[in-house]
Amino acid sequence: MLDKTTRVNLLYDHYGALLTEKQRSFVELHYLEDLSLGEIAIQFGVSRQAVHDHLRRAVDQLEQYEAVLGLVSRHMRRRAVKRQLAEVIAGLPVDDDQQRRLLELVGELCEDGNGTGGGDGDV
Amino acid sequence: MLDKTTRVNLLYDHYGALLTEKQRSFVELHYLEDLSLGEIAIQFGVSRQAVHDHLRRAVDQLEQYEAVLGLVSRHMRRRAVKRQLAEVIAGLPVDDDQQRRLLELVGELCEDGNGTGGGDGDV
């Protein structure tokens, strides 16, 4: 089971671009940069409760996207398969160049990060 | 360049679950099952123009999701890398079992299909 911060970070990596700009700011400050609700409230001139509500709604929305698209769970599965592949490749009777080439291509296959920042959000 | 139907099918594979039920029906009937706008209009008891507008908005929405999340372009890149990997694997001095195991794991790594039908849509 992932802890909450890791979970939100993963969700944010995959669906952050679908949040509003304000939601993105709050999620980044709280979950990525570890600012408290109070600190964010001061920075934005809003109440601590408002920050709390914005964050809760943002995380709910990220979880709803995951429930529908499942990109995070696919990412986790892919990571597990990548580990298995690395083990299999390490045991092959191939030379260093071939091994490096295989691992490089497997790495490219696993790049599934981060729509965040790629677009303007608010679809 | 993909033709329109192939493009919409790919978009629908990745983001269809985010459309409303009615949008999904229209997209499926027109782009997957090749019904004409007129045939769909009769089936749903609406005007041909209404079907046209619904479809246009649905496809616009799919394209907006792609602009933000880029899952289809990632899918295409992954397909190209998978082909390269298959070629490299075919040229390795390994036995049939190892080759089969490698291709199997690479196949799992490439499973990125289809959120459609996995959820209830309308996030």
- pLDDT, one tens digit per residue, over A82-123 is 999 999 998 888 888 888 999 999 988 887 654 443 344 444
Say whether B33 sits in a helix, a strand or coil: coil
- Residue B59 is assigned to a structural domain of this protein: yes
Arithmetic mean of pLDDT, A27-35: 96
pLDDT at B109: 86
Q: Is residue A68 over pLDDT 90? A: yes
Domain identity same for A8 and A61 = yes
Interface touch B68/A17, C-beta < 8 Å: yes
Phi then psi for residue A33, to 5 deg, are: -105, 0
**DSSP secondary structure code for residue B28 in this structure:** I
- Residue B10 is assigned to a structural domain of this protein: yes
Q: Which domain holds residue B89?
A: 4-110
CB pairs under 8 A between A and B: 102
The letter for the amino acid at B20 is T
Domain identity same for A2 and A48 = yes
ipTM value, please give it.
0.79
Arithmetic mean of pLDDT, A11-28: 96
> Could you tell me if A71 lies within 8 Å of chain B, comparing CB atoms?
yes
- Residue B122 is assigned to a structural domain of this protein: no
Residue B57 near residue B27, CB atoms below 8 Å = no
pLDDT at A117: 38
| % of residues, chain A, pLDDT over 70 | 89
**Which portions of chain B are predicted below pLDDT 70?**
1, 112-123
Q: Is residue A20 over pLDDT 50? A: yes
pLDDT at B112: 65
Q: What is the CATH number of the domain that holds B63?
A: 1.10.10.10
Q: How would you classify residue A70: left for phi > 0, otherwise alpha for psi between -120 and 50, otherwise beta? A: left
- Residue B23 is assigned to a structural domain of this protein: yes
Facing residue for A85 by CB, picked from B65, B74, B109: B109
What ranges make up the beta strands (E) of chain B?
Answer: none
> Whole-angstrom Cα distance, residue A36 to residue A33?
9
Facing residue for A18 by CB, picked from B68, B88, B119: B68
Interface touch B111/A64, C-beta < 8 Å: no
Q: Could you give the count of Cα atoms lying within 13 Å of B85 in the half-sphere of its Cβ?
A: 29
Q: Give chain B's domain count.
A: 1
Tell me the pLDDT band of A36, cut-offs 50, 70 and 90. very high
Tell me the two tokens of residue A18. Answer: 């679908």
| % of residues, chain A, pLDDT over 90 | 75
- Element spanning B109, H or E: helix B96-110
For B15, nearest residue in chain A (alpha carbons): A69
pLDDT at B93: 86
Neighbours of B73 (CB within 10 A): 12
- Residue A55 is assigned to a structural domain of this protein: yes
Phi then psi for residue A115, to 5 deg, are: -70, -20
**DSSP secondary structure code for residue A103 in this structure:** H
Arithmetic mean of pLDDT, A28-56: 96
Pick the closest to residue A17 from A106, A94, A115, A99 (CA basis): A115
Q: How would you classify residue B94: left for phi > 0, otherwise alpha for psi between -120 and 50, otherwise beta? A: beta
Min CA distance, A59 vs chain B (Å)?
13
- Residue A7 is assigned to a structural domain of this protein: yes
Interface touch B61/A123, C-beta < 8 Å: yes
pLDDT at A94: 87
pLDDT at A1: 62
pLDDT at A13: 96
Helix A37-44 and helix A48-69, axial crossing angle in degrees, nearest 10 = 110
Alpha helices in chain A (DSSP H): 4-15, 21-27, 37-44, 48-69, 71-90, 96-110
Residue B27 near residue B14, CB atoms below 8 Å = no
Interface touch A77/B15, C-beta < 8 Å: no
B-chain residues near A78 (CB < 8 A):
108-109
Domain identity same for A64 and A91 = no
